[in-house]
Structure 1
């Protein structure tokens, strides 16, 4: 019986970059929004307001619960203040109101992306967005965003496909024959039947009210059953049907799934790109949101309400005057055609949940989005030259005789020191989330002599809980702000709102708002943290320190998340993997001991760990390894047969699987003998090669151990938001260039495209 020592050091499973373990929220890059500081910006004076992404997010809401005490302790030690002075200020620019352009007749054909004339009208444009280095060009006119814009419109969700006639909603035990419009709404709820949303009374109430409204609009039930009470509705038949559909889709072979994916990509290809000033650039969210039930984040009062279907008549397209207007779906017309080159959207429509606008914008890697990011981070850098004056004034005004000045001073202190968002007014039908200016009496608890406890729901209904020490005068002012007759429900800053605060801040620097402070303090903190990292160790060790610096910023900005459901299983799997690598290393050392007795005497420490693995532990590892091998061959057999079926070839005979399994049986027998004798069957008698394999395994064990620690450390902190939206990307580029870390270990392909301007414009000596 021969048991081969498996050289697992050359496994085809590559070490996973630490950065990939940080992508937890899974939202698309193009959908990652930035904080608006509680302010709404008018982009079209005639009608258009900035969309409220948070109020109408179609993704399933993330249920996030704070881990307050742990976060608060770390947050106290993060701050370092900058004393750098930069007296250079940007010139203030004024943006004129946008005039609404008249409608124009619809043209018959959409343009071909491959054959769009360039500006001179003589040649086709082949310039790719990646080759346009806009950051090297000067553009003083911030009003005009583009000269020419051509695109193929948007993709609408497919029409509703009615359920089979035998699949019904049951009411009080009776089948209900619903019109298609009402049946579609019922299907939205049935699909979520076993989710937490469907168990939420507010979700149920809002859904049922909207369902009854749609049912009334479409003429009522067709068989006379009158639906009145939600409690008597049985959605189980529809839910079971949807589950069957899902299971059938999962059973498709990889080849069938690939074919469907290719067909989908071919259909979407014309909509993925547009031509902006003759350059081919990517479009972000080119699909119109499908109808469904609104989830919302946190305890949103509108959760469960129906997001109605959007039709072409609801959509406004934006392109240049000479562009061919894309044809709308048959039987429909576009709501309006505009030629507004002062905005950065291609299409828009109004949604019914919060009556706000949704937009089709350029992708995150587009030049216009890049310019916007660049200006945001440059504005934060510019604050370096003014932060000293701002801090000096708000500290002085903490004792002002004017109450408004005191409130502004305390608000500035909170925004600067504790990175609070500005906050804004909320309507009664919006989630009860607050920021600095909208803090209420009950959100701040005072513990003498100078301890303040914040406890409120911030953006996305994430709990902000911190117990912090404040300046003595700040504590006195808060006591004054909470003085009777104020009581729970009353505003803490009763004379202040974000517009007043931002108007005050703009006295220091053009364009300065409360929002800029979060970007500045996040980037400044990251710069300070990176300065503390020594340029030594492996790439994995450097990445661990980079993530620790990023985590410091995330804690400062209160970017929390719940421990994912699969976290415990993931940690257990990683721990088992490390244990198996340790076992492989010990087997190799046992083989060396059998081959070279002199080496054992000469270097006893090298072999000391051989006896660390007890027999029970080793038997458990053997069992796991054998189980994995069996599972591997079963899946391989199924995969090969699916491929052969797709290629119309004969399937593998069952004897092939039996042959593979017999090899596993031999391996299992060998492990049992090895466990009894303690000796390893040697097929490689080269001691030096065995030692080399041990070194490779030790490196892999170290990498996996570092990744596991990073996974644990980041389990309750979301690093992605701060890395993408708050930390100047040039800091990450500088870190990678200076410390010899591949950029792809930190930035995904999408982020490298998004921040191409940072990658190419910052060298290793750049500083925030």
Structure 2
């Protein structure tokens, strides 16, 4: 069965790319059909050298030019010759030292296998690379027909489908019990595309005419796919590991490319397999068929001297390009939205790093213009020209409430809106100056906020809603994103609503971090960092639904804290067994002993015993899987019994302890000092786990990752970690540390956005 690895995660990379370009270009990108598509990336007016200047390893010697010479002739020609000669000597010396410095750096980078692009000067933004070699893309394997006894049934009769149609029917059959497959819109779109494929393939093989979805029975297909899932689950860990290793070995050559002589990692090198589109929210295209991408649909981009990757047998590539003004390695057009999909370098590559850097530097540039922009839009709120008023209100909403610009949607797209596409019904006014926004934003996430606005803004919104306007009418009926974007670019090249969001997100984070005191444990500092991050996520409306496992996760965390408290109480009981007089000296220290009931203790004992039994069963199975795979002698059942006998002894110990109240500790815990140190450690662990639990609950409906990765300048996080002595690993995963290496290595604790 082919899986859909687009599905629920709708190619966020391409959507993010669209937001990175100026608004005036967004509509052009969406209207692209079959013309040449170029990689659009923001130009940067400020070279990387203005921020990161390369430091020479040797200091240039200062040469003092003598303007007078005893032997100079009367007309000064000899002096001029000497000065010129000395000047040339200085230039030559400078060039030599610089060349040696660059060579030293290049040698160091070659030795470490690193390319520190942020330390280079004079990067030409129009040329992305000089040489580019890669091995193409991974194409999904051809469809394998189902066993002859697994069929679609129509009106109770088995249907012999051609392979093309059987594959599409299988996509639905595999999803039969999901919420998607029960959605009438999903069913309608699937059935329509299924019939089209069936017609193109020549109809059914046994003459049955399929006309109504309600008469189709996909049960046999569903049962077959479920059986395959169960068989996959039965694979041992070693068998699963071997499958993964075999897959990684086959894909290894596609994971890296050679860019200007350097080895760089490739990002999404796999072509999406066919499947049924899911979409987010109430998407009108949910259920439509994502058709199989053939090699003939794919354009490869590499340098003219690079060997062309071999196409799958019986196929050829659609086109080979040698365009070094773009970053992509391969591209094709998908059929759902007729949009272009790219294979690009990975997030930790030099080109992607430079793109991220330029994005955040562009946002930083806005701080030099924001006062003028705000002054102008406040003035234009009283303009006699309605278009000027609408522009002023739109920029106010984008600036203050981080709204996206928005744009017109076609009927077959989800009804999501932004600032310029707000309709009458999306805004409710409550005098004197309260506004209620209620609409579906990007990814069909509801934007609902009740906010207070400037009184002039409120007055203008009231004017925009005057009759004859009614529900369904555009609020900003004279404004569109391209007009707004053209206006914004009068202040700063490349300025767009996206830049406002990045600027306000990073500025808000900077302001929030300034309020954090440099005190407390690492866990407490992380809690405050996440609170600051959460403020930004709320500003940008980065919401998420509470996960299905959230309640279970919270319960597990509470159980862990309670178990730690039990361990601490046991130690305090043991302390009293060693020194009973301590109770009179410090009764408050031992008060919590009475807080835990015998029922609570018994429940904790039960959980520990169950966990130990499960642990040894898994260990036994894991060890034997490994031995079986390596063709070694299996562990006997007696070994498992020996481990479980140990658990039985622990169970008896706990039972006796519950009955008598006498604690039996390990022989190593035989002194008061050791017990006290362990109690202190447990106190710290309880505090840390309690903070993490609070953090988990507060972030259950807010997506911190989106703002942290895409909107907050990563250098702010680096500054926070360096200033507050928080390990960067606590905030950035290994992948993010590689992605933002330029940020980690380029700033100190005094840097400011």
Alignment partner, residue 498 of structure 2: 515
Correspondent of 1:317 among 277, 300, 308: 300
Alignment partner, residue 154 of structure 1: 137
Counterpart CA distance in 2 for 1:678 and 1:635 is 33
Partner secondary structure for residue 642 of structure 2: helix
Q: CA deviation at 1:693?
A: 1.0
Alignment partner, residue 711 of structure 1: 696
Assess if the C-alpha contact under 8 Å between 1:50 and 1:357 holds in 2. no
Alignment partner, residue 750 of structure 2: 765
Alignment partner, residue 641 of structure 2: 658
Assess if the C-alpha contact under 8 Å between 1:291 and 1:309 holds in 2. yes
Kindly indicate whether residue 217 of structure 2 is the aligned counterpart of residue 259 of structure 1: no
Equivalent runs, 1:381-460 vs 2, <5 Å: 381-460=364-443
Assess if the C-alpha contact under 8 Å between 2:285 and 2:412 holds in 1. yes
Correspondent of 1:492 among 475, 479, 491: 475
Alignment partner, residue 219 of structure 1: 202
**TM-score, with normalisation over the residues of structure 2?**
0.87
Assess if the C-alpha contact under 8 Å between 2:574 and 2:663 holds in 1. yes
Counterpart CA distance in 2 for 1:367 and 1:241 is 46
Alignment partner, residue 686 of structure 2: 701
Q: CA deviation at 1:333?
A: 1.1
Assess if the C-alpha contact under 8 Å between 1:640 and 1:652 holds in 2. yes
Correspondent of 2:536 among 553, 556, 560: 553
Counterpart CA distance in 2 for 1:466 and 1:51 is 36
Q: CA deviation at 1:648?
A: 2.0
Partner secondary structure for residue 33 of structure 1: helix
Alignment partner, residue 60 of structure 1: none
Partner secondary structure for residue 611 of structure 1: helix
Correspondent of 2:451 among 453, 456, 468: 468
Assess if the C-alpha contact under 8 Å between 1:292 and 1:308 holds in 2. yes
Change (3 A) 1:251 1:484: same
Counterpart CA distance in 1 for 2:182 and 2:541 is 29
Change (3 A) 1:29 1:307: closer
Q: CA deviation at 1:641?
A: 1.9
Kindly indicate whether residue 477 of structure 2 is the aligned counterpart of residue 477 of structure 1: no
Gaps of 5+ in 1: 1-24, 53-88, 94-119
Alignment partner, residue 68 of structure 2: none
Q: CA deviation at 1:339?
A: 0.8
Kindly indicate whether residue 656 of structure 2 is the aligned counterpart of residue 673 of structure 1: yes
Assess if the C-alpha contact under 8 Å between 1:444 and 1:453 holds in 2. yes
Partner secondary structure for residue 131 of structure 1: coil
Equivalent pairs counted in the alignment come to 680
Assess if the C-alpha contact under 8 Å between 1:346 and 1:360 holds in 2. yes
- Per-residue deviation, residues 135-181 of structure 1 (Å, max 9, x unmatched): 11123532111111111111100110111111111111111111110
Q: CA deviation at 1:32?
A: 8.3
Equivalent runs, 1:581-620 vs 2, <5 Å: 581-620=564-603
Q: CA deviation at 1:647?
A: 2.1
Change (3 A) 1:279 1:45: farther
Q: CA deviation at 1:253?
A: 1.0
- Per-residue deviation, residues 226-271 of structure 1 (Å, max 9, x unmatched): 1111111111111111111111111111111111111111111110
Assess if the C-alpha contact under 8 Å between 1:255 and 1:646 holds in 2. yes
Counterpart CA distance in 2 for 1:411 and 1:393 is 13
Correspondent of 2:559 among 576, 580, 583: 576
Kindly indicate whether residue 358 of structure 2 is the aligned counterpart of residue 375 of structure 1: yes
Kindly indicate whether residue 129 of structure 2 is the aligned counterpart of residue 141 of structure 1: no
Kindly indicate whether residue 673 of structure 2 is the aligned counterpart of residue 685 of structure 1: no
Assess if the C-alpha contact under 8 Å between 1:172 and 1:233 holds in 2. yes
Partner secondary structure for residue 597 of structure 1: coil
Partner secondary structure for residue 464 of structure 1: strand
Assess if the C-alpha contact under 8 Å between 2:39 and 2:328 holds in 1. no
Correspondent of 2:165 among 182, 193, 200: 182
Assess if the C-alpha contact under 8 Å between 1:619 and 1:675 holds in 2. yes
Partner secondary structure for residue 206 of structure 2: coil
Change (3 A) 1:426 1:316: same
Q: CA deviation at 1:702?
A: 1.1
- Per-residue deviation, residues 285-314 of structure 1 (Å, max 9, x unmatched): 111110111111211111111111111111
Q: CA deviation at 1:31?
A: 7.5
* Greater relative CO (CA pairs within 8 A, separation 6+): 1
Counterpart CA distance in 1 for 2:155 and 2:335 is 32
Counterpart CA distance in 2 for 1:46 and 1:187 is 31
Q: CA deviation at 1:91?
A: 6.5
Counterpart CA distance in 2 for 1:27 and 1:353 is 11
Q: CA deviation at 1:656?
A: 2.1
Counterpart CA distance in 1 for 2:11 and 2:169 is 28
Counterpart CA distance in 1 for 2:313 and 2:670 is 75
- Per-residue deviation, residues 205-230 of structure 1 (Å, max 9, x unmatched): 01001101111111111111211111
CA radius of gyration, larger in: 2
Partner secondary structure for residue 645 of structure 2: helix
Partner secondary structure for residue 669 of structure 1: helix
Counterpart CA distance in 1 for 2:266 and 2:14 is 12
Kindly indicate whether residue 35 of structure 2 is the aligned counterpart of residue 47 of structure 1: yes
Partner secondary structure for residue 641 of structure 2: helix
Alignment partner, residue 718 of structure 2: 733
**TM-score, with normalisation over the residues of structure 1?**
0.85
Kindly indicate whether residue 739 of structure 2 is the aligned counterpart of residue 754 of structure 1: yes
Assess if the C-alpha contact under 8 Å between 1:128 and 1:280 holds in 2. no
Counterpart CA distance in 2 for 1:334 and 1:547 is 47
Between 1:574-583 and 1:641-650, the stretch displaced more is 641-650
Counterpart CA distance in 1 for 2:696 and 2:672 is 36
Q: CA deviation at 1:544?
A: 0.7
Alignment partner, residue 56 of structure 1: none
Q: CA deviation at 1:45?
A: 12
Assess if the C-alpha contact under 8 Å between 1:126 and 1:279 holds in 2. no
Counterpart CA distance in 2 for 1:151 and 1:749 is 25
Partner secondary structure for residue 144 of structure 2: coil
Alignment partner, residue 301 of structure 1: 284
- Per-residue deviation, residues 295-344 of structure 1 (Å, max 9, x unmatched): 11211111111111111111111111111111111111111111111111
Alignment partner, residue 58 of structure 1: none
Counterpart CA distance in 1 for 2:608 and 2:447 is 45
Change (3 A) 1:30 1:689: farther
Equivalent runs, 1:538-549 vs 2, <5 Å: 538-549=521-532
Counterpart CA distance in 2 for 1:560 and 1:581 is 33
Assess if the C-alpha contact under 8 Å between 1:168 and 1:177 holds in 2. yes
Alignment partner, residue 4 of structure 2: none
Counterpart CA distance in 2 for 1:538 and 1:566 is 29
- Per-residue deviation, residues 511-563 of structure 1 (Å, max 9, x unmatched): 21111100000000000000011111111111111001000000000000000
Alignment partner, residue 226 of structure 2: 243
Between 1:736-745 and 1:597-606, the stretch displaced more is 597-606
- Per-residue deviation, residues 7-26 of structure 1 (Å, max 9, x unmatched): xxxxxxxxxxxxxxxxxx99
Counterpart CA distance in 2 for 1:418 and 1:561 is 19
Kindly indicate whether residue 322 of structure 2 is the aligned counterpart of residue 339 of structure 1: yes
Counterpart CA distance in 2 for 1:592 and 1:140 is 68
Counterpart CA distance in 2 for 1:298 and 1:483 is 31
Q: CA deviation at 1:655?
A: 2.3
Q: CA deviation at 1:38?
A: 5.9
- Per-residue deviation, residues 595-640 of structure 1 (Å, max 9, x unmatched): 0123222222221111110111111111111111111111112212
Counterpart CA distance in 1 for 2:408 and 2:367 is 30
Counterpart CA distance in 1 for 2:425 and 2:175 is 35
Counterpart CA distance in 1 for 2:46 and 2:526 is 39
Q: CA deviation at 1:643?
A: 1.7
Counterpart CA distance in 1 for 2:345 and 2:322 is 16
